[in-house]
């Protein structure tokens, strides 16, 4: 099986866009390890402003301060966890006043992260009228490949979540 490309991400985003447009709903993103690929794929869809309201890359403690704004972060929360992916998705939807939020966090490689998680470990979440979260365990330490895989997993999970809520 070939590795996902940016065009694969845009194609997946087109499917998500169709679901959001049909339901007249909006989405926002807070991503980390995928480095902006989720946001870029959504913006890569023609007429993205119909469904995409904004996003951020939360990669450092400075980014976390912007994400949390004036709200306290949950005690003991750290990156690359289910809790952090859900928090990112929730905050993205709140900050951008969107129906849906996507959260993505993890370790893409080539080494693990400072918390001891191995490369390929991550979490993606989609929060809105329905909530879904998915753990990623990719047996690869190729950073750019994993960035694309994390982004694709997030977009696909969002599509599944929106579809579940709107059928």
Residue 9, domain member (yes or no):
no
- Is residue 20 in some structural domain? yes
Residue 63 lies in a domain: yes
Length of the chain: 167
Q: Does residue 7 belong to any structural domain of this protein? A: no
State how far the alpha carbon of 67 is from the alpha carbons of 4, 23, 58, 79, 93, in Å: 28, 27, 7, 13, 11
Q: CA–CA separation, 37 vs 34, rounded Å?
A: 6
Task: Give domain status of residue 2, yes or no.
Answer: no
- Phi and psi torsions of 37, nearest 5°: -65, -35
- Helix (H/G/I), strand (E/B), else coil: 158: helix
| pLDDT in 10s for each residue of the chain, 167 residues | 789 999 999 999 999 999 999 999 999 999 999 999 999 999 999 999 999 999 999 998 888 888 898 888 888 889 999 999 999 999 999 999 999 999 999 999 999 999 999 999 999 999 999 999 999 999 999 999 999 999 999 999 999 999 999 98
pLDDT of res. 70: 81
CA-nearest of 137, 92, 98, 90 to 118 is: 137
Which burial class, exposed, middle or buried, applies to 39 when counting CB atoms under 10 A from its CB (0-12, 13-18, 19+)? buried
Could you tell me the CATH number of the domain that includes residue 61?
A: 3.90.950.20
Q: Domain range spanning residue 114?
A: 14-166
Overall number of domains in the chain? 1
Q: Residue 111 in contact with residue 137, Cβ under 8 Å?
A: no
The pTM score is 0.97
What single-letter DSSP state applies at residue 121? E
Does the residue 5 lie in any domain? no
pLDDT at residue 29, rounded to an integer: 98
**pLDDT value at position 65?**
85
């Amino acid at each position: 099986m070939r590795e996902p490309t940016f065009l694969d991400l845009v194609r997946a985003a087109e499917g998500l866009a169709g679901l959001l447009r049909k339901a007249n709903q909006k989405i926002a993103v807070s991503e980390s390890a995928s480095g902006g690929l989720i946001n870029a794929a959504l913006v890569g869809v023609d007429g993205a402003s119909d469904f995409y309201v904004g996003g951020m890359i939360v990669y450092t403690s400075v980014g976390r301060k912007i994400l949390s704004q004036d709200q306290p972060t949950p005690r003991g929360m750290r990156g690359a966890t289910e809790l952090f992916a859900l928090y990112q998705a929730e905050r993205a939807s709140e900050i951008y006043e969107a129906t849906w939020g996507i959260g993505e966090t993890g370790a893409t490689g080539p080494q693990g992260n400072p918390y001891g998680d191995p490369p390929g470990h991550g979490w993606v979440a989609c929060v809105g009228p329905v909530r879904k979260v998915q753990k990623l365990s990719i047996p690869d330490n190729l950073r750019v490949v994993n960035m694309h895989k994390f982004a694709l997993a997030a977009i696909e999970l969002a599509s599944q979540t929106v579809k579940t809520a709107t059928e």
